[in-house]
Amino acid sequence: MKTALVTGSSGLIGSEAVAFLDERGFRVIGLDNNMRRDFFGPDGDTTWNLQRLTKATSHFEPRDVDVRDRDTILRSFAEERPDLVVHCAAQPSHDLAASRPFDDFEVNAVGTLNLLEGARQSCPESPFVFLSTNKVYGDAPNELELVELETRYDYADPAYADGIDESMRIDATMHSLFGASKVAADVLVQEYGRYFGMPTVCFRGGCLTGPHHSGAELHGFLAYLARALRDVQTYRIYGYKGKQVRDNIHSYDVCTAMMAFYEAPRVAAVYNLGGGRANSISVLEAIEELEGRFGRPLQREYVDEPRRGDHICYISDLGRLHADYPGWEVTISLDEILDQLAELAAPATT
């Protein structure tokens, strides 16, 4: 039986990875200390997801381990020598990072270094999958010329019809402290590939979403929006008239990309990973879609100041990933994602 080590295993992507790998016959060791609750308060508590996952899986071994705990991480790698590492544990919000800079950097950058070093010492041949973010590009995507449409912004230059590719620069731009700590991790993951020849990949995520998100105001926009509608709470739109665009990918499609890499790994790979244009939506459009599904209007408030480091229009160009892994594609449409969120937001399960 192959062993996979998944960090952030109670979070959105980590939990999907656990279930996905468990179903495919892996023994899965999950590391998560529920730090999302510490970051985001009760909305961020992932205990419900851990409980759900424990029932739904057969070979899942959750462990309450902090990725900052270097000794335990190195020891876990030495004892388990996993065949696959999927690193999803993170402080994921750029807003929060400014108030907790040490925690943000220690979890995102130093935690990643601990895992890379554990892998190098104990299982350097095993594919190492890192969930990076489009925030490594900082504000640079906002420098592209945009057109303002009725409900969204879009790129003015047809060269960007498919979105932003991996040649977008990552320096000389404002990232937020979160983006900066993720850049540090992203570059380290690439370096362990290039310098040590390890099979590492950075998936620079667009908006990763799905029904198992403990959506909080500061992170998890669609899940949080669905919850605001369910609980009749006020949803705050921050700047850009609500016309800011994100491309959304279901956590299942993130896992199939991860699996494609596991089956045919490369060294120091970097891919943008989002839903692409077909799965792109603005905040205003998402509100309208979800209001329709819930059959009631959202209580909303407009804050005339965008979040710092927020992208105005971000669509992931999936060309490089399609070229290297032609069998991979987005299989879950935006409509299905919204349906799932609306269904799951209905009972008080999240």
Ligand X SMILES: NC(=O)c1ccc[n+]([C@@H]2O[C@H](COP(=O)([O-])OP(=O)(O)OC[C@H]3O[C@@H](n4cnc5c(N)ncnc54)[C@H](O)[C@@H]3O)[C@@H](O)[C@H]2O)c1
**What does the binding site for ligand X look like in residue numbers (CB under 6 A)?**
7-8, 10-14, 31-36, 46, 66-68, 88-90, 92, 107, 111, 131, 133, 205, 207-208
* Shortest Cβ 8–ligand X spacing (Å): 3
**With respect to ligand X, which residue has the nearer C-beta, 88 or 257?**
88
Q: How far apart are CA 257 and CA 163, in angstroms?
A: 18
* Shortest Cβ 62–ligand X spacing (Å): 11
**With respect to ligand X, which residue has the nearer C-beta, 8 or 138?**
8
Q: How far apart are CA 186 and CA 255, in angstroms?
A: 19
Q: How far apart are CA 297 and CA 115, in angstroms?
A: 45
Alpha-carbon distances, residue 178 vs 71, 98, 133, 154, 213 (angstroms): 25, 8, 10, 25, 19
Q: How far apart are CA 214 and CA 103, in angstroms?
A: 20
Q: Map 194-251 to HEC letters.
A: HHHCCCEEEEEECEEECCCCCCECCECHHHHHHHHHHCCCCEEEECHHHCCEEEEEEH
The residue of the chain with the least Cβ separation from ligand X equals: 11
Helix (H, G, I), strand (E, B) or coil at 1: coil
Place of tokens 């390890």: 198
* Shortest Cβ 296–ligand X spacing (Å): 26
- Residue 37: name the closest of 220, 168, 216, 184 by CA: 216
* Shortest Cβ 11–ligand X spacing (Å): 2
Does the CA dihedral 201-182-116-78 come out positive or negative?
Answer: negative
Residues 334/279, Cβ–Cβ less than 8 Å: yes
**With respect to ligand X, which residue has the nearer C-beta, 199 or 210?**
210
* Shortest Cβ 128–ligand X spacing (Å): 13
**With respect to ligand X, which residue has the nearer C-beta, 126 or 133?**
133
Q: How far apart are CA 105 and CA 111, in angstroms?
A: 8
* Shortest Cβ 35–ligand X spacing (Å): 3
**With respect to ligand X, which residue has the nearer C-beta, 28 or 107?**
107
**With respect to ligand X, which residue has the nearer C-beta, 10 or 126?**
10
* Shortest Cβ 158–ligand X spacing (Å): 26
**With respect to ligand X, which residue has the nearer C-beta, 112 or 197?**
112
